[in-house]
Structure 1
Amino acid sequence: MNAPSDRIKRGRKFDQVLEGAREVFLRDGFEGASVDEIARAAGVSKATLYSYFPDKRLLFMEVFRLECDRQTGEALSEIDFSAPIDTVLRQAARHMLASFLAPFNQAVFRICVAEADRFPDLGAAFYESGPLRLRQEIVGHLAEARARGELAIDDLELAADQFAELCKVDLYTRTMFGGGHSFAEAEMTRVIDGAVDMFLARYRA
């Protein structure tokens, strides 16, 4: 089977289609977004849309890839990696939690799980477009903090994964099982502080 990118055709209105699709997907989600509505938002015909993306899943994944790049780039630009480790971890935790709770990101996750057998490359595209990139950045910073004597970590990759899982406690699970997407600041701070405190209790030098 061809990778998703092999089935995408590019042309003069390619970016126009992506922008219209992003608007509709962010507003309506994957299931709620119709091809007709995407074509209208993009200002193109359905024939033009299908000439670029023969499958709505492919269009969704390309929009997600770009959205994930945007979110990850925004997070990395806002995290002050020169700050003390407590501050860096809290900033990273806030961005990670916001990403975990975003309806658009959760829709992508559900599609990847549902279509894992028929479209195995979707899962890889999902992971590589955002989670892996942020993980690598966190691993790099943990290594720097270890070199400065702030942290005592043997397995940096495991520690980074553990931190990500700590940021999923409670709110992420509730959201995945239909418990809503909007939470009070106090609820989010509780998870963030808990994740950072537990991580540092284990790994602070």
Structure 2
Amino acid sequence: MINIKPIQGVALSIETSRIKRGRKFEQVVAGARSVFLREGFEGASVDEIAREAGVSKATLYSYFPDKRVLFVEIALREALRQAEAYDEQVDLNLPPNVLLPVAGRKLLDFMLSDLGQALYRVAVGESERFPEIGRKFYENGPKLVRDRISEYLSQAAARGEVRIDDFDLAAEQFLELCKVRAVTLCTFQPRVSVDAAERDKIIRNAVDMFLSHYGVKS
């Protein structure tokens, strides 16, 4: 288990020190969501977000100090919304060779999406200056997905479908296998795209490698 100690003397709360809530807060969030999903982070302007939300720039800035903090709030909400929709659609009683390809592909597709790539870059780029951004990204992204895969693997082990001692470690290993080649490539070369056939190949090999180690042979 890895224990992460907080940096002493660093304020870790964007909610209390950076973001302020008010009567039109959700109105601003809704407008920003529409603009970010349509234009992306770089293409979205504060003026356009304010117009879409039907508020003044002064009102927008009274809630969010800058575009990056607003983007992280929207992106993490969107990631959580997709995760909740995924939970509703996926039957956790499915065997690993059926469920893991679906879970892996959804993860890869999100990581390669414009939203996923922009969120990753902003979270990493701003995490030292604003530690809360990094914390929120980790808790609502990598940790959330890991915990859900870990819980599924625990259930699969109870059914005798896999043999695993450390479910969190196994979940992280699977998730890293699903990101091989594609995520790093697209992070450093944003104009590169990975087609459906290549994504299928990456996930297929990730599942095969994972189950060759943890799977129970019938």
TM-score (norm 1): 0.93
How high is the sequence identity, in percent, across the aligned residues?
52
2:82 is the counterpart of 1:71: yes
Deviation of residue 157 (structure 1)? 1.0
**What SS does the aligned partner of 2:115 have?**
helix
Alignment match, 2:59? 48
Deviation at 1:178, TM superposition (A): 1.6
**Cα gap change, 1:185 to 1:31, in 2 (>3 Å):** closer
> 2:165 matched to 1:118?
no
1:90 aligns to what?
A: 101
Cα deviation, residue 116, structure 1 = 2.3
Aligned partner of 2:201: which letter? Answer: R
Per-residue deviation, residues 68-127 of structure 1 (Å, max 9, x unmatched): 111111222222211111111111111111111111121111112212221111111011
Unmatched 5+ stretches in structure 1: none
The answer to whether the aligner puts 1:5 opposite 2:15 as a matched pair is yes
Report whether the alignment pairs 1:107 with 2:113: no
**What number of residue pairs does the alignment pair up?**
205
The 1:49/1:198 distance shift into structure 2, 3 A limit, reads: same
Match of 1:178, as an amino acid? Q
Hey, what's the Cα distance between the residues in 2 that align with 1:127 and 1:109?
10
- Matched letter for residue 21 of structure 2: R
1:140 to 151, 162, 165: 151
SS of residue in 1 equivalent to 2:80: helix
89-98 or 23-32: bigger deviation: 23-32
In the alignment, is the contact (CA less than 8 A) between 2:12 and 2:130 conserved in 1? no
Cα distance per residue 1:151-174 (max 9 Å; x no partner):
111111111000000100122122
Using structure 2 for the length normalisation, give the TM-score.
Answer: 0.88
State the Cα distance separating 1:48 from its structure 2 match. 1.0
Structure 1 runs of 4+ with >3 Å offset: 179-183
Corresponding residue for 2:140? 129
Q: 1:26 Cα deviation (Å)?
A: 1.9
Distance in structure 2 (CA, Å) of the matches to 1:195 and 1:34: 39
Specify the code of the residue in structure 1 equivalent to 2:19: I
Structure 1 residues 179 and 118 mapped into 2: Cα distance closer, same or farther (>3 Å)?
closer
| Distance across 2 between alignment mates of 1:107 and 1:178 | 13
1:10-58 superposed Cα distances (whole Å, 9 cap, x missing partner): 2222111111111222222223321111111111110111111122222
Could you say what the CA RMSD is over the residues aligned between the two structures, in angstroms? 1.6
Q: Superposition pairs for residues 4-23 of structure 1, below 5 Å?
A: 4-6=14-16, 7-23=18-34
Gaps of 5+ in 2: 1-10
| Superposition deviation, residue 150 in structure 1 | 1.1
Amino acid at match of 2:110: S
Go from structure 1 to structure 2 and tell me whether the alpha carbon gap of 1:51 and 1:170 turns closer, same or farther (over 3 Å shift).
same
In 1, are the aligned partners of 2:12 and 2:131 still within 8 Å (CA)?
no
